[in-house]
Every structure is written in structure tokens, then in C-alpha cells.
Amino acid sequence: MVSAAGLSQRVARLSPSATLSISALAKAMRAEGLDVCILSAGEPDFDTPEHIRAAAIRALEEGKTRYGPTAGIPTLRQAVADKLRRENGLDYSPDQILISNGGKQTLFNLAMVLLDPGDEVILPVPYWVSYPEMVALAGAQVVRVQTQEAQGFKLTADQLRQALTPRSKLLILNSPANPTGAVYHRHELEALAEVILSVPHLYVVCDEIYEKLVYGEARHLSLGSLSPELLPRTILSSGFAKAYAMTGWRIGYLAGPKPIVEAAISLQSHSTSNVCTFAQYGALEALTSPLSAPAVEKMRQEFWRRRDLMLEGIRTLPKVSCPEPEGAFYIFLNISQTGLSSVEFCQRLLKEHHVAAVPGVAFGADHCIRLSYAADRVTLEKGLERLHRFLSSL
């Protein structure tokens, strides 16, 4: 069937990314001269560290401007494999790594090479906006599993067990999580691992793009490192955007079983080919330079301070609550006591009080909104004050 606009059925039911559209509206209001507090951003507000920028400039000047291998420059694939062994306890060879245009393309590649119509994908709710759309584009079914705020919005082993059917093909796990900031702890991953290993046909995509951003006692742990049996059942998706403030560079990577990686390379060879060649040299510098760890740590410390500032402010707000997020740079605020839908809440907050936040409905949770603390402390304090005024007026 052909839609009125001539669009395929595949895209006719696709919704544009809600996170990107609210940020665009807020930026347009700012351009009109309004003082808008943007708490909707999904990207660090820092510049890419200088040594990483310098490496890409050097590569450009050295003429690294041509097509490269689809899967990425060999030195970068090797550096990713080394990093995964060193930091995550994951044993991958460079030919099990694919460099893609951001975590987004990595995940899209995976949906395309792993899923067929009729396959089911278990998705803990709240989820990152693009997962259900990618699954739908691959023709598979999303099985949404509601997680509980009281459990820090984390999927439990029992919930996973109950969601399984003979058609379950994939589980998507995102830790640290967007939009909740949830970080799975070892005992929680071990409990999930037991269920995963009891189902021979289930794969797990672990989206670990926020791995460097964890606070307090929380530690990031890769599911695939828990046992040698788990490694062939997991596919890791990550990237440079959040850890190194490199969102615009568009560099992500996946690591997984060789047949899956090879299929994803074939697919990418017919879509985008290699990631921008000189940008890959910046990513290589990010992974190999001794200057990176202190630069990342400085940003993490600042995010941590901002998280605490936000939590302190939120405790004084009427009618809202949230679990303490342990990672990423988001707070997922329960607004159910206000009686407003998340879209009404965010529209009024933006129009009446000039604060941009993302409606939770985009993440499958209409009783919540997402606040990002990837903004300077003055903006955060102002945003909290305005939220207070709005909530008190309801």
C-alpha cells in the first residue's frame, strides 16, 4: 500500500526523535532573545578535549582524507579491543569490532542484522527513544516490560523470565541508562545472567555509551565480563560521544561474535561505509593518550556535583519525586501528583516558565519528565527555581 505522500509503510509510522525536537524548539525561543533554561540536552556541554581535537587536525593536515576500510582504521579497532580488555574485562579481537557513525548507527546495524519479522525484543521501560523505532524498522515486535521506580527503574530477573516467549530474540540493556540514570549492580546483572543463560536463543545488546559517567559507590560493569558463556550471547554498543564530549564527531563501536560483526560490516558497506577518516584519528587519540583519563575525570566530577545540586533542589520541590540516579546525566522526575500528562507539563514549563525538559512519554513513561544536568550550574539553579514556581502554582 502506498501512503498519500508516497512514503513506505516502514517509515509512515515512524515518530521523529522527541528529544531532538524539544531542544530545537527551546533553541528557537533562545534565538528570539528569551532566557530559556535548556534542561533537555542529551549531550555534554563541554568542548572535546584539546588533545583529541589536535589529533584530528593533525590527521587532516597529513592527508588522512580518503576512504578507509568500512569497519574502521585498523589502529582504532585494535585500540577499542585493547580498551575493552583493559577496562571492561572483555576479550575481543580487533576483527570483532566495528566502528560506526555513533552509537545510533551501531544499534541500527544490530537491529538490521539480528531481527526478522516475528522476532520479539524485550525492552525495559523507560527506554531510550530510538530503541523501539529501530526494532520496528527491522519489522520485529517490541515487548515492553515496565520497571518500577522503587527498584530504581531496573529490570529484575523475575520480570525478564515472565517476558520470555519462544520468539524472544533480543534483550536491550542500557546501563548507565538514559533517561533514568539507573546503573545495574553486579548482583542485579548476575541474576539477569542466570535467566539469559537458561534461554539458548536469547541475545543481549548492552548499550554502555554512558559507562564513564557513574557517581558515588556505583561502578560500571559489562554483562559480557561475568562469565565466558555470556560473552558470545552479548553484543556491546558504545561510543565516544558522552565520555569524551564528542557528540558531533559521530563515532561509535560495536563488539560481538564474529558472524554478527561481519554481517554488520557488510550492511554498513552498503550504507555509510567508513566513519569520517580523520575523525577516527581523534577517537584513537581519545583511547590511547594519557591526557584522556584526567580530562574525562574532570567532566565526571563536574557532572557528579551537578547531580547532587539537582537532587538537593528536587527534594525541596512539591509534588515530584525521583530515585537517586547513579549514572549518565539525567534525572527522571515522577510528576504523577500534578495530574498533568508529560507533554502538557513540558509544554507549560517551556511556554510559561522557559524551562525545556523532555516529556517522559517519549521514553514510554507518561508520568515522568526527563531533566538533563548537562548544563552549567547557574542554569540548573535557575531551572530549579522556575520548576518550583511552576509546581507551586499547580
Ligand X SMILES: Cc1ncc(COP(=O)(O)O)c(C=O)c1O
Residues that bind ligand X (CB under 6 A): 42, 102-104, 128, 174, 178, 207, 209, 239, 241, 247, 252
Nearer to ligand X, 178 or 280 (CB): 178
Cell of 342: 508529560
The angle subtended at Cα 130 by Cα 216 and Cα 45, nearest 5°, is: 50
**Closest approach of Cβ 315 to ligand X, in Å?**
26
Q: Which residue's Cβ lies closest to ligand X?
A: 102
**Closest approach of Cβ 372 to ligand X, in Å?**
10
Nearer to ligand X, 42 or 126 (CB): 42
**Closest approach of Cβ 283 to ligand X, in Å?**
11
> What is the spatial distance between Cα 291 and Cα 85, in angstroms, rounded to a whole number?
20
- Residue with the three cell numbers 512514503: 7
250: left (phi over 0), alpha (psi -120 to 50) or beta: left
DSSP helix/strand/coil, 120: strand
**Closest approach of Cβ 110 to ligand X, in Å?**
11
**Closest approach of Cβ 95 to ligand X, in Å?**
22
Nearer to ligand X, 353 or 370 (CB): 370
DSSP helix/strand/coil, 321: strand
**Closest approach of Cβ 240 to ligand X, in Å?**
7
H or E element in which residue 387 lies: helix 377-393
348: left (phi over 0), alpha (psi -120 to 50) or beta: alpha
Please choose, from the candidates 164, 59, 149, the residue with its C-alpha nearest in 3D space to the C-alpha of residue 335: 149
Backbone angles phi, psi at 388, to 5 degrees: -60, -45
**Closest approach of Cβ 241 to ligand X, in Å?**
4
| Cβ-based burial of 94 (10 A; exposed 0-12, middle 13-18, buried ≥19) | middle
Q: What is the 3-state secondary structure (H, E, C) of 258-283?
A: HHHHHHHHHHHHCCCCCCCHHHHHHH
**Closest approach of Cβ 255 to ligand X, in Å?**
15
**Closest approach of Cβ 124 to ligand X, in Å?**
12
| Order of strands, sheet of 141-146, starting from the edge strand that comes earlier in the sequence | 97-100, 252-255, 234-239, 203-207, 168-174, 120-125, 141-146
Question: What's the N-to-C CA distance of the chain in angstroms?
Answer: 47
336 secondary structure, DSSP code: G
Preceding peptide of 259 cis, ω within 30°: no
The CA–CA distances, whole Å, from 110 to 45, 124, 258 equal: 29, 18, 13
